[in-house]
Amino acid sequence: MSNLVQYKVADLDVKRLGRIRDVEDVSFLSYSGSEIGFYYSGERLDADIISNDLCNTVDLKGSVCVWIDGDESEYKRIMLDKEEQRVVLFDKAEYAESKGVKVSELPETLGIHIIKYNEAAFGTVGLKRIYAEEGKVDGPLLTKKRKIEYIGDSITCGYGVEGILDKNVFNTDIENPHLSFSIKSAKKLDADYQLVSWSGIGIISDYIGPEVDEARQEILINQLYPYTDKMQDDKLGLSPEEWDFTLFEPDVIVLNIGTNDASYTREKPDREKWYADEMKQFIRFIHEKNKKAKIAFCYGIMDQTLCMTIDKLVNEINEEGEEYIKFFRLPLQDEKTDGYAVDYHPTKSTHEKMSVRVADYIREYMGW
């Protein structure tokens, strides 16, 4: 590369979406969809990316995707297979060819989105340095007026959405948060977003199989939410960093937790009460940390057994005097119409339908 300009990502004036922690000169993107965004005028961008594959398996690598502002589809996806590697993020000639235009027909300045696609449970993604050929990194992408936070599990992450039941085994190649209802609904509402989501997670129990009858509590959502990325900090040998809730102040929070708890509650009243009690405490904590935000408890796509419990607990919270939460019951996914993705998860078409419903509901709820 000629006329090379080198930038430390942690020092750059960029737009940050999602929970991101700077460790020395590395910016670690945490949950699915976490993003660094900036304007760039030049010919090519390379980057040094750290990705300790902490799961020690080739199927659960870190994954980065590059989008160009205004495009309807991704420009480039990069699977990370080394602890540190130099990758090409953007090549103007290559991009022009993919668009079927001449380089001279492209805008002089383009918006670059560098997005973590794999969820926080798997390979890390740490942006270290960016190398720009010609031109320059020229300031952060614009902030949108609306902000939405999504708290959820595998559904929110886009787990296995690019795969097919009984044909594919889950790996991070087929995980895509941009095909999840979460980011799709945010885009429909022209909102900035951040995700706090982890596959298999619950409030009283992570997912268990039918042969197990004890709650599994290796990691619960109320243990994750107060921190930037507690599990990543643990794996990197760092003290957990408390999340600064002033860094992203959502207008509305979409909550979708319970599908994995339902694998344990199994319509047993004492377990459902335990779920309700813990969820009430968690909702109150969410509200305490996000006083300006409404909460939309959007649930039902993979499980309906907890819907009555959720409806009741939401009503009880509102009866306390301050109405800041509503329950929106989603329809169960339809195998005949839309099929299943990996491990019976929602398909692309199911996520699209869900995103329309959620966006419409939020639009009405918030008066947007």
- Say how far residue 356 (Cα) sits from the centre of its chain: 18
Q: Nearest-CA neighbor of 162 among 332, 30, 29, 345?
A: 345
From first to last of the 368 residues of the chain, give the pLDDT tens digit: 557 888 899 899 999 999 999 998 899 999 999 999 999 999 999 999 998 755 445 578 889 999 999 999 999 999 998 889 999 999 999 999 999 999 999 999 999 999 999 999 888 899 999 999 877 888 999 999 999 999 999 999 999 999 999 998 888 888 999 999 999 999 999 999 999 999 999 999 999 999 999 999 999 999 999 999 999 898 888 999 999 999 999 999 999 999 999 999 999 999 999 999 999 999 999 999 999 999 999 999 999 999 999 999 999 999 998 899 999 999 999 999 999 999 999 999 999 999 999 999 999 999 99
Provide the b/e sequence for 227-249 (b: ≥16 CB within 10 Å).
bbbbbbbeebeeebbebeeeebe
Place of tokens 């990691």: 219
Helix (H, G, I), strand (E, B) or coil at 23: strand
Place of tokens 């599994």: 216
The C-alpha torsion from 354 through 359 and 364 to 365, rounded to 10°, is 90
Q: What is the pLDDT of residue 56?
A: 47
* 227 secondary structure, DSSP code: B
Residue type (1 letter), 353:
K
- For the chain, give percent helix, strand, coil, nearest 5: 30, 30, 40
Asked if 45 and 64 touch (Cβ cutoff 8 Å), the reply is no
DSSP for 151-212, please give it: EESHHHHTTTTTS-TTT----GGG--GGGSHHHHHHHHTTEEEEEEE-TT--SS-B---TT-
Residues 347, 162: Cα–Cα separation, whole Å: 7
Q: Nearest-CA neighbor of 181 among 357, 365, 352, 361?
A: 352
Residues 308, 272: Cα–Cα separation, whole Å: 10
Asked if 66 and 75 touch (Cβ cutoff 8 Å), the reply is yes
**Strand (E) or helix (H) holding 121:** none
CATH 2.60.120.260 domain extents, the chain: 4-140
Residue 13 CB neighbour total at 10 angstroms: 9
Longest CA span, the chain: 68
Collect contacts of 52-59 with beta carbons under 8 A, ≥24 apart. Answer: 52/83, 52/123, 52/124, 52/235, 52/236, 53/80, 53/81, 53/83, 53/122, 53/123, 53/124, 54/122, 54/123, 54/124, 54/235, 55/121, 55/122, 55/123, 59/169, 59/170, 59/171, 59/172, 59/173
**Strand (E) or helix (H) holding 89:** strand 84-91
Q: What is the pLDDT of residue 138?
A: 87
Does domain 4-140 match CATH 2.60.120.260?
yes
CATH 3.40.50.1110 domain extents, the chain: 146-366
Superfamily of domain 146-366: SGNH hydrolase (3.40.50.1110)
Q: What is the pLDDT of residue 53?
A: 53
**Intra-chain end-to-end CA distance of the chain, in Å:** 47
Residue 4 CB neighbour total at 10 angstroms: 11
